[in-house]
């Protein structure tokens, strides 16, 4: 029966997941106090991922800051501007992209394993496995994955892959970090970045809030933010420390562990069926 | 099964105005579907990066599966707990379930960006057991096949010994005949496996449909978001199953001018009262424990939709059904069961569409014309197929209203519904 087969699959993926979490993967620290809103990271990303052939000048249009933007199928990252209420001349710029969660909801949601968290920290996507159900988009708390809705035949889920290929196979930094001054986007192992972030806060308590966004949020994310203002003023959402898969997977596993409960129900109903049948014959 | 009211094929023609309207809507839906497959989901729908799921999931799949629950509830009552007086209700419920799931999967084809990969969950190397959707997909796939197997005896009963395929297909007649004979000989002994398996799989995926949105705690309105959503979905699926059987039985009786099974249905409605009552208690208790009533004071359409769902879909039909006077009449049963069916439908629409409000989304989702036409077309095609099937196969109980006349093979039109092609 399907249930027992499914049970075996649960056990397997639970195993794979615990080993993945033990690794210290890559991370990125975004210092929003350093960002000048040049949007070169957007251009570099579009180049690297062949998302558009727009020249760099196209990314210098200040009108892009009028309304906060979200990622699209053609833009894996966007930089938004947030005004400071009492200082009209000053702004905070915040880069948005996939956060590369340590316990990603999208990976937990994907029924064919098209989305995966690599041991090195990147959450990657295999288009050839994908059915296009878009459950990953439903699941992502950061509302990151975008969809190629205009592609009738081979649409893909579009999101930052942390330049997986570039980092793992070419030994380079992600394209956005390569383009950006290192003070603003810092690429390193996540544990090192956490040390750095807390050092920065300690050294400049007036400059930063004592909060590394992404350290604990939803079980932690590979991308983390330093801010001078509350994150909710910067287009970032507030979250618990509880990882999203912890809300669904324990229940799913408890109910269907190794297919025992369905088998039990099957047995009970079969017994009931035979009992009522005999009663009838008497 | 040698009951007085053994099912027979309906002897009314198909060329009625109602059927023509359904066929028209189904054809328009087919056109809309062609548009979606040619130009993509973006061109056809209002789905967006913030609202990845719309009515194709909320209505075609989630509501369709809930309203098809009558298949397993009636099989459980009549075949597992051997309440044989309800035998007359099993075949219409089975047909509804079979068509309901079939059309839910057809609806899914429209929604899937890479619909041609729909078989991927069957490949062991792609299995992802942590995914609620994986479990739903597996259960629905297996259960759909079980429904087809459960329907086979009806095909055998109608055609065994009478297979006469037209034209060049005539050569296949002996082979089909033999296949039916083999099915007849083997199915009887194995059928209990499929019946029990169908009930187990239904309990699994009906509840798991409720787990689907547990993964989006920051997007679903707290009026509906609760860790016990899977239990509420299962209980409401039971209710929908019993209600749908009553509702449909009366609707078919009136449409085909058969005698309504009012007595059987009134007695059957006790199951509905029990499950609907348990559902209300569970939903109410959960609501109070979670202090969710604060969310009722929030503005917008959600609190209104929630109250309509509870009052018109659960409380009112419950009040109607506990009254023996209402329960004893066909009209009373029809109204009460109709309210429950509508209430469960509204619940699924509420959970998947109304309650889903992602923080970054600017304007709420509302289905586009093409999207709606596809859904409407699927529903019309389903009802039309049901009509065709009850004309061909012995599904509905023989009513006393219709004068006895031998069923002539010529009376059965060869017309099929447009989506089958």
Tell me: the pLDDT tens digits for B84-122? 889 999 999 999 999 999 999 999 999 999 999 999 999
> Token pair for residue B135?
């479990």
User: What pLDDT was estimated at residue B399?
Assistant: 60
Tell me: the pLDDT tens digits for A3-59? 444 444 444 444 444 444 445 899 999 999 999 999 999 999 999 999 988 999 999
Q: Is the pLDDT of residue B286 over 90?
A: yes
Q: How many CB atoms lie within 10 A of CB B9?
A: 18
Chain B: residue whose CA lies nearest to A111: B134
Rg over alpha carbons for chain B, rounded to the nearest Å, is 22
Chain B: residue whose CA lies nearest to A67: B362
User: What pLDDT was estimated at residue A181?
Assistant: 78
**Strand A223-226 with A26-31, pairing:** parallel
> Token pair for residue A24?
């210290």
Q: How many CB atoms lie within 10 A of CB A58?
A: 14
Tell me: the pLDDT tens digits for A63-104? 999 999 999 999 999 999 998 878 877 899 999 999 999 999
Q: In terms of C-beta density within 10 A (0-12 exposed, 13-18 middle, 19 or more buried), how is residue B118 classed? A: middle
Question: Do the chains contact at B139 and A2, CB–CB below 8 Å?
Answer: yes
Beta bridge partners of A158: A146
> Token pair for residue B29?
């839906």
User: In terms of Cα–Cα distance, which of A235, A142, A176, A237 is closest to A40?
Assistant: A176
User: What pLDDT was estimated at residue B414?
Assistant: 40
User: What pLDDT was estimated at residue A262?
Assistant: 87
Beta bridge partners of A146: A158
Question: Do the chains contact at B40 and A270, CB–CB below 8 Å?
Answer: no
Chain B: residue whose CA lies nearest to A144: B49
In whole angstroms, what separates CA B170 from the centre of its chain?
A: 35
Chain B: residue whose CA lies nearest to A270: B196
Question: Do the chains contact at A249 and B126, CB–CB below 8 Å?
Answer: no
Tell me: the pLDDT tens digits for B394-418? 998 876 444 333 333 334 344 333 3
* Percent of chain A at pLDDT exceeding 70: 90
Q: In terms of C-beta density within 10 A (0-12 exposed, 13-18 middle, 19 or more buried), how is residue B15 classed? A: exposed
Which residue out of B42, B62, B118, B128 would a mutagenesis test of the A interface target, given it has the greatest number of A Cβ atoms within 10 Å? B128
Highest mean pLDDT among B43-47, B80-84, B255-259, B299-303: B43-47
Size of interface A-B (CB pairs under 8 A): 217
- Helix ranges, B112-217 (H): 132-159, 173-211
Is A213 within 8 Å of A94 (Cβ atoms)?
no
Q: Is the pLDDT of residue B76 over 70?
A: yes
**What ipTM does the predicted assembly reach?**
0.90
Rounded to an integer, what distance in angstroms lies between the CA atom of residue B251 and that of residue A13?
48
Highest mean pLDDT among B159-163, B388-392, B402-406: B388-392
A265 touching B (Cβ < 8 Å): yes
Rounded to an integer, what distance in angstroms lies between the CA atom of residue B321 and that of residue B299?
33
Is B209 within 8 Å of B203 (Cβ atoms)?
no
Is B193 within 8 Å of A274 (Cβ atoms)?
no
Q: How much is the average pLDDT of B289-317?
A: 94
User: What pLDDT was estimated at residue B293?
Assistant: 87
Question: Residues near A12 by Cβ (< 8 Å), separated by ≥ 6?
Answer: B127, B129
Beta bridge partners of A226: A31
Is B65 within 8 Å of B100 (Cβ atoms)?
yes
User: What pLDDT was estimated at residue A65?
Assistant: 93
Question: Do the chains contact at A109 and B37, CB–CB below 8 Å?
Answer: no
DSSP string, chain A: -HHHHHHHHHHHHHHHHHHHHHS--EEEEEETTT-----HHHHHHHHHTT-----GGGGG-GGGGSS----BTTBS-EEEEEEETTEEEEEEEEEE----BSS-HHHHH-TTS-EEE-TTS-EEE-TTT-----HHHHH-TT---EE-TT-SSS--EE---TTHHHHHTT-PPPHHHHHS-TTTEEEEEHHHHHHHHHHHHHH-TTTS-S--BTSSGGG-BSEEEE-SS-GGGGTPPP--SS-THHHHHHHHHHHHGGGHHHHHHHHHHHHHHHHHHHHHH-
Q: In terms of C-beta density within 10 A (0-12 exposed, 13-18 middle, 19 or more buried), how is residue B379 classed? A: buried
Cα of B241 to nearest chain A Cα, Å: 18
Nearest to B53 among A14, A73, A138 (CB): A138
Mean pLDDT of chain A: 89
Question: Residues near B181 by Cβ (< 8 Å), separated by ≥ 6?
Answer: B160
Question: Do the chains contact at B49 and A143, CB–CB below 8 Å?
Answer: yes
Which residue out of B58, B123, B129 would a mutagenesis test of the A interface target, given it has the greatest number of A Cβ atoms within 10 Å? B129
DSSP state of B399: P
User: What pLDDT was estimated at residue A248?
Assistant: 87
Nearest to B130 among A108, A265, A266 (CB): A108
Cα of B201 to nearest chain A Cα, Å: 8
**Strand A87-96 with A78-84, pairing:** antiparallel
User: What pLDDT was estimated at residue B77?
Assistant: 94
User: What pLDDT was estimated at residue B299?
Assistant: 82
Q: How much is the average pLDDT of B129-140?
A: 93
Helix (H, G, I), strand (E, B) or coil at B261: coil
Which residues of chain B neighbour A5 with C-beta distances below 8 Å?
A: 138
Rounded to an integer, what distance in angstroms lies between the CA atom of residue A63 and that of residue B269?
63
Least confidently predicted of A70-79, A92-101, A198-207, B356-365: B356-365
Q: Report the CATH fold assignment for A25-245.
A: Alpha-Beta Plaits (3.30.70)
Beta bridge partners of A80: A94
Tell me: the pLDDT tens digits for B221-278? 999 999 999 999 999 999 999 999 999 999 999 988 888 989 999 999 999 999 999 9
Is B8 within 8 Å of B401 (Cβ atoms)?
no
Burial A236-260 (b: 16+ CB within 10 A, else e): bbebeeebbbebbbebbbebbeebe
User: What pLDDT was estimated at residue A119?
Assistant: 94
Rounded to an integer, what distance in angstroms lies between the CA atom of residue B218 and that of residue A217?
13
Question: Do the chains contact at A135 and B212, CB–CB below 8 Å?
Answer: yes
Which residues of chain B neighbour A73 with C-beta distances below 8 Å?
A: 49
Nearest to A113 among B48, B128, B218 (CB): B128
Report helix, strand and coil shares of chain B as percent, to nearest 5: 75, 0, 25
Nearest to B49 among A8, A11, A146 (CB): A146
Which residue out of A133, A258, A268 would a mutagenesis test of the B interface target, given it has the greatest number of B Cβ atoms within 10 Å? A133
Rounded to an integer, what distance in angstroms lies between the CA atom of residue B124 and that of residue B114?
19
- Residues found in chain A: 282
Beta bridge partners of B207: none
User: In terms of Cα–Cα distance, which of A143, A73, A133, A142 is closest to A109?
Assistant: A133
Q: Is the pLDDT of residue A277 over 90?
A: no
User: What pLDDT was estimated at residue A211?
Assistant: 97
Domain ranges of chain A: 25-245
Rounded to an integer, what distance in angstroms lies between the CA atom of residue B89 and that of residue B75?
9
User: What pLDDT was estimated at residue A90?
Assistant: 85
Is B31 within 8 Å of B40 (Cβ atoms)?
no
């Amino acid at each position: 029966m399907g249930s027992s087969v499914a049970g075996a699959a649960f056990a397997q993926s639970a195993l794979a997941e615990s080993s993945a979490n033990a690794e210290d993967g890559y991370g990125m620290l975004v210092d929003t106090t350093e960002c000048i809103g040049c949007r070169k990271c957007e251009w570099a990303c579009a180049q690297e991922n062949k998302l558009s052939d727009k020249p760099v000048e196209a990314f210098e249009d200040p009108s892009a800051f009028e309304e906060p933007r979200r990622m699209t199928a053609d833009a894996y990252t966007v930089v938004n501007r947030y005004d400071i209420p009492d200082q009209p001349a000053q702004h905070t710029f915040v880069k948005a992209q996939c956060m590369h969660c340590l316990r990603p909801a999208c990976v937990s949601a994907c029924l064919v394993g098209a989305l995966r968290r690599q041991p090195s920290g990147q959450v990657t996507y295999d288009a050839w496995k994908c059915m296009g159900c878009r459950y990953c988009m439903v699941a992502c708390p950061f509302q990151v994955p975008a969809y190629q809705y205009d592609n009738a035949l081979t649409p893909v889920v579009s999101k930052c892959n942390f330049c997986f290929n570039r980092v793992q196979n070419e030994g380079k930094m992600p394209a956005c970090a390569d383009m950006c001054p290192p003070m603003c986007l810092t690429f390193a192992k996540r544990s090192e970045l956490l040390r750095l972030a807390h050092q920065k806060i300690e050294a400049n308590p007036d400059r930063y809030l004592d909060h590394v966004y992404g350290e604990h949020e939803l079980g932690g994310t590979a991308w983390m933010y330093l801010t001078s203002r509350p994150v909710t003023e910067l287009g970032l959402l507030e979250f618990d420390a509880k990882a999203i898969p912890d809300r669904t997977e324990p229940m799913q596993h408890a109910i269907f562990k190794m297919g025992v409960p369905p088998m039990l129900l099957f047995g009970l109903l079969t017994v009931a069926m035979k009992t009522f049948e005999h009663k009838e014959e008497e | 099964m040698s009951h007085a009211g053994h099912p027979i094929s309906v002897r009314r023609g198909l060329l009625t105005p109602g059927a023509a309207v359904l066929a028209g809507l189904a054809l328009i839906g087919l056109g809309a579907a062609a548009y979606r497959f040619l130009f993509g989901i973006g061109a056809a729908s209002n789905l967006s990066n913030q609202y990845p799921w719309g009515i194709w999931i909320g209505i075609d799949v989630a509501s369709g599966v809930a309203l098809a629950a009558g298949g397993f509830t009636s099989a459980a009552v009549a075949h597992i707990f051997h309440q044989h007086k309800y035998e007359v209700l099993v075949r219409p419920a089975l047909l509804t379930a079979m068509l309901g799931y079939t059309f839910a999967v057809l609806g899914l084809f429209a929604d899937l960006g890479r619909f041609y990969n729909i078989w991927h969950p069957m490949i062991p190397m792609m299995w992802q057991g942590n995914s609620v959707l994986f479990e739903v997909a597996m259960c629905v796939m297996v259960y759909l096949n079980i429904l087809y197997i459960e329907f086979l005896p009806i095909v055998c009963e109608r055609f065994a010994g009478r297979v006469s395929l037209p034209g060049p297909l005539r050569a296949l007649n002996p082979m089909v005949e033999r296949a039916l004979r083999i099915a007849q000989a083997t199915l009887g002994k194995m059928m209990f496996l499929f019946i029990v398996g169908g009930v187990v799989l239904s309990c699994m995926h009906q509840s798991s449909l409720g787990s689907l949105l547990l993964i989006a705690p920051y997007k679903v309105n707290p009026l509906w978001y609760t860790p016990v959503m899977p239990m509420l979905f299962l209980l409401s699926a039971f209710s929908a199953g019993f209600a749908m059987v009553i509702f449909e039985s009366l609707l078919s009786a009136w449409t085909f001018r058969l005698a309504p099974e009012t007595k059987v249905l009134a007695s059957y409605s006790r199951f509905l009262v029990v499950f609907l009552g348990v559902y209300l208690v569970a939903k109410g208790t959960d609501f109070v424990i979670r202090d969710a009533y604060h969310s009722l004071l929030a503005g917008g359409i959600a609190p209104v939709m929630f109250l309509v769902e509870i009052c018109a879909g659960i409380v009112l039909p419950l009040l109607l059904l506990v009254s023996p006077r209402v329960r004893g009449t066909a009209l009373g049963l029809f109204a009460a069961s109709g309210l429950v069916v509508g209430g469960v439908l509204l619940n699924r629409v509420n959970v998947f569409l109304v309650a889903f409000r992602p923080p970054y989304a600017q304007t709420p989702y509302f289905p586009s014309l093409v999207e709606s036409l596809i859904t409407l077309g699927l529903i019309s095609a389903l009802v039309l197929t049901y009509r065709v099937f009850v004309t061909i196969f012995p599904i509905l109980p023989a009513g006393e209203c219709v004068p006895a006349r031998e069923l002539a093979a010529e009376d059965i039109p060869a017309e099929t519904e447009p989506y089958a092609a």
